């Protein structure tokens, strides 16, 4: 009984589709049904649209966080570069002052670099990278860009110890 009923309804549906496709007799009915069913279509699509908006919001938020992290890292790098530039500028000024101070002295000038500090907190002594083999001698004055800095108190073959004026 159920099988016969299903067969009759299936044949009726196929016949109705063939008639509608050929003669468009059900077009006004389809239009009215569309008008009635539109709110149901909208309600059925609501969860999908809500899900899409939520995932867009989450992905947008995630991309903003990633971009923010990238920009923070870039800002940190730029800040480091700026500090390095400031340090190089300051060093450049000091080197220019040293060049100018060497031009003021008529005697032979030996340019050296600081290679160490005396670990004793009660004496202000430094170690320079020039020694007896470079022409440094005991009692020799040591100059910096500002003028007199100290006096050589110990001479080694490749280094010398200088007593600073601040220790005198």
Among the listed residues 97, 87, 104, 93, the one whose alpha carbon sits nearest the alpha carbon of residue 144: 97
152 with 162: CB under 8 angstroms?
yes
Question: Could you tell me the CA-to-CA distances from 76 to 62, 96, 139 in Å, in that order?
Answer: 21, 30, 48
pLDDT in tens, the chain (168 residues): 888 999 999 999 898 888 888 888 777 877 788 788 888 888 888 888 888 888 888 878 888 888 999 999 999 999 999 999 999 999 988 877 777 665 555 667 888 999 999 888 888 899 999 999 999 999 999 988 777 889 999 999 999 999 998 865
DSSP 156: -
What's phi and psi for 128, nearest 5 deg? Answer: -110, 160
Q: Which residue has the tokens 């939520």?
A: 54
């Amino acid at each position: 009984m159920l099988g016969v009923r299903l067969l009759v309804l299936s044949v009726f549906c196929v016949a109705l589709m063939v008639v509608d496709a050929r003669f468009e007799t059900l077009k006004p009915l389809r239009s009215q049904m569309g008008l009635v069913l539109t709110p149901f279509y909208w309600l059925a699509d609501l969860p999908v649209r809500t899900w899409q908006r939520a995932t867009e919001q989450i992905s947008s938020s995630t991309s903003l966080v990633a971009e923010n992290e990238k920009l923070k890292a870039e800002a940190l790098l730029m800040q480091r570069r700026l500090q390095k530039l400031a340090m190089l500028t300051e060093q450049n000024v000091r080197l220019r002052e040293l060049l100018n101070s060497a031009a003021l002295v008529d005697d032979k000038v030996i340019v050296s670099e600081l290679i160490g500090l005396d670990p004793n907190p009660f004496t202000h002594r430094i170690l320079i990278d020039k020694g007896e083999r470079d022409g440094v001698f005991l009692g020799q004055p040591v100059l910096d860009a500002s003028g007199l800095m100290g006096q050589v108190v110990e001479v080694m073959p490749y280094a010398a110890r200088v007593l600073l004026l601040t220790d005198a």
